[in-house]
Structure 1
Amino acid sequence: MSQVPHYWLESSKLELMKALNGTFLALSCFTVALRVWTRTRIVRCWGWDDWFILLALAVFVGECSVWLRLADVEGELASLANLETYAALICAEQALYITGTICLKISLAFFFLRFLITPWSRHIIWISVTIYTLLATAMLFLVIFECGLPTNYVLKQASNQCISFRVQSCMGYAHVLGADEIVNYG
């Protein structure tokens, strides 16, 4: 009797992935809850940065849910339906990750803008976050629509109907360097 292959992670690694996922989700919820408590009870000052950190947490909860579903799919037998589900989950995870980083960067920008007084330093924050947000949004659309509409992703990938890896690499390179260079050396 021939065996249908599993995906590449064995069950101990899947359990570790689930445990780490739950641990980081609990830590994130705890730290954001402490921030909310501090900002509402002690400081009594709620700002845009707090709303964006809550949005980033909501996106992270969604991302953790996708990771848990990915762990379940990886434990199943390989089939075309599971491969389509797996590809859709990977696409969703990447999109949620990019969305979460955008929310987190905007939250950090609003936080730093509370303390910066000089116009040139405020402009650097606005410019760097705007460039990062534009590049990350472009990367988000590239991740979601790299093969056209996100249906039948595996078949489109197999028949070379997707954007080439070179374009994806260049976009990723621009995304990383464009945002970090301005923040680090701006």
Structure 2
Amino acid sequence: MVASDAPPTLYGLGTIPKELYGVSISLLVITWSAALSRAYVRGYVLRSVGWDDWTLIPAQLCYTVQCAYMIRMAQMEMNPDKNSDIRSISQLVTNLVAFAGIYALTCILLKISLGLFFLRIITEGWQRNVIHVGILINTLYGITYFGLCTFGCGDPAKYLLRITLKQCISIDRVIIPASYVFTGFNAVMDWIMALLPITTIWHLNMPKMTKFWAYSLMVLGGTGSIVSLIRFAFVKSLEPDVNFFKNTGKLAFYSHIEPGLGIAAVCLATLRPLFRQCLDGAKSMSSTQRSHGPSGAKRTSVAGGSELQVTSMRKSRRVRDGFVTFEDDSDGMQTQWSNENEIGVKTEFTVETRPTSSDVEQGQEMFPH
């Protein structure tokens, strides 16, 4: 070890293991809910599945594996008495190395998916070139960083032994600087892809409220970069010593939040059709409830977008002067209307006309003659 020949200890971690466990479970549920909702919107509602959707699938799967490693490490750290032997410590270090490698893969795939998503809406040639170059550089460097993190000591299962024997790539001179660069690339890519579409959306012919939500989603997409910047402060904790697990706890915490928020944000950006569908469904249900008045009254649509409420309608009808007349034998009520949807009312018969959005938009029903 750098600071001590003693292996890292699991004692003195405080609430770190519980925090890691809680955030892993929470983000696993959030990301899968968001990813499945996005799949429903793109595959069923819009029937328009793109390459950004396909690349998000392996990103979510990698993040799931990342969560599994985090949950397992947190469970071991919450039981220091049971996992303080050298074999358990070695397994925990190996899990942390695997977690770092999977984190790199998740970030690579997420940035590819995010870039392909923005390429759908960006039309300016130079902006598209910036995204293409950014994706290429981030991917190539990310693969290099993945190799350094995972195989910097050869077999990850022997990481603790080999780092003790100083048979690994230098952490101070290679791994830590590479981590700073990778973290910086992630932050820069998030902001580039969040800021580039601003001028495109500004010139689109859409309602101001729609533009507001579009900008809000871009800001949400940039939250991952904020976490990346916070992560900068904890990269130095990768130096191995007796307090290695305590020092790397916060780094693992923010390394877990960063891709989780990114996946949730890029999925939420595609869910507007789902929100609109839910809103339309709620309006339709409310309209259906209002369509039934007191005492069993019924409403029927009339061509031209009007609703006709008939409290009592009757058995005999006759045509007279271009009007159709229904008569009620018991109450002596009559109503009549013309083919131009003008309503005439006689005696006590009550008729209401109200515009309905479903008839205006779809023109579904004609009142029967």
Question: Shared fold by TM > 0.5?
Answer: yes
Counterpart for residue 107 of structure 1: 113
Check whether the contact 1:131–1:179 (CA below 8 A) recurs between aligned residues. Answer: no
Instruction: Between 69-78 and 118-127, report the one with greater CA deviation.
Output: 69-78
What do residues 75-95 of structure 1 show as CA deviations (whole Å, max 9, x unaligned)?
A: 233111011101110011101
1:101, distance to aligned residue in structure 2 (A): 0.5
Q: Does 1:130 align with 2:133?
A: no
Residue 169 of structure 1 and its aligned partner are, at CA, apart by: 2.4
Indicate the residue corresponding to 1:168 in structure 2: 175
- 4+ residue runs of structure 1 moved beyond 3 angstroms? 5-8, 12-16, 176-186
Shift of 1:26: 0.5
In structure 1, distance between residues paired with 2:186 and 2:71: 30
Q: How do 1:33-182 residues align onto structure 2 when only pairs under 5 Å count?
A: 33-74=36-77, 75=79, 76-164=82-170, 165-178=172-185, 180-181=187-188
CA distance 1:72–1:141, change in 2 (3 Å): same
Paired residues of 2:93 and 2:159 also in contact (CA < 8 A): yes
Could you report, residue by residue, the CA deviation over 1:4-53 in whole angstroms, capped at 9, with x for unpaired residues? x744434x553443222111111111111111111112211001111111
Q: Secondary structure at the match of 1:78?
A: coil
SS class of match (1:147): coil
Can you list the C-alpha shifts for 1:113-166, whole angstroms capped at 9, x where unaligned? 111112211110010111011111110000011112324211111111111121
Alignment-mate amino acid for residue 26 of structure 2: T
- 1:179–1:33 CA distance, 2 compared to 1 (3 A): closer
Mapped partners of 1:96, 1:114: distance in 2 = 27
Instruction: Identify the range of structure 1 (75-84 vs 124-133) with the bigger mean alpha-carbon deviation.
Output: 75-84
Q: Tell me: higher relative CO, structure 1 or 2? Use CA pairs within 8 A at least 6 residues apart.
A: 1
Larger Rg: 2
CA distance in 2 between counterparts of 1:181 and 1:13 reads 29
Q: Which residue does the alignment assign to 2:286?
A: none
Counterpart position of 1:28:
31
1:9 aligns with 2:13: yes
Inter-CA distance 167–57: structure 2 relative to 1 (3 Å threshold): same
Higher strand share: 2
Q: Which structure carries more helix by proportion?
A: 1
Q: Following the alignment from structure 2 to structure 1, what is the Cα–Cα distance between the partners of residues 40 and 156? A: 40
Letter in 1 for 2:138: Y
Note if contact 2:21-2:75 (Cα within 8 Å) is conserved in structure 1.
no
Q: Is the 8 A contact 2:59 2:109 kept in 1?
A: yes
Q: Which blocks of at least 5 consecutive residues in structure 1 are unaligned?
A: none
Task: Confirm or deny: 8 A CA contact 1:105 1:129 kept in the other structure.
Answer: yes
2:156 is paired with a residue whose SS is coil
Percent identical among aligned pairs is: 27
Per-residue deviation, 1:97: 0.7
Code of the aligned partner of 1:170: P
Q: Which amino acid aligns with 1:104?
A: L
For residue 5 of structure 2, what is the aligned residue in structure 1? none
**Partner letter of residue 46 of structure 1?**
V
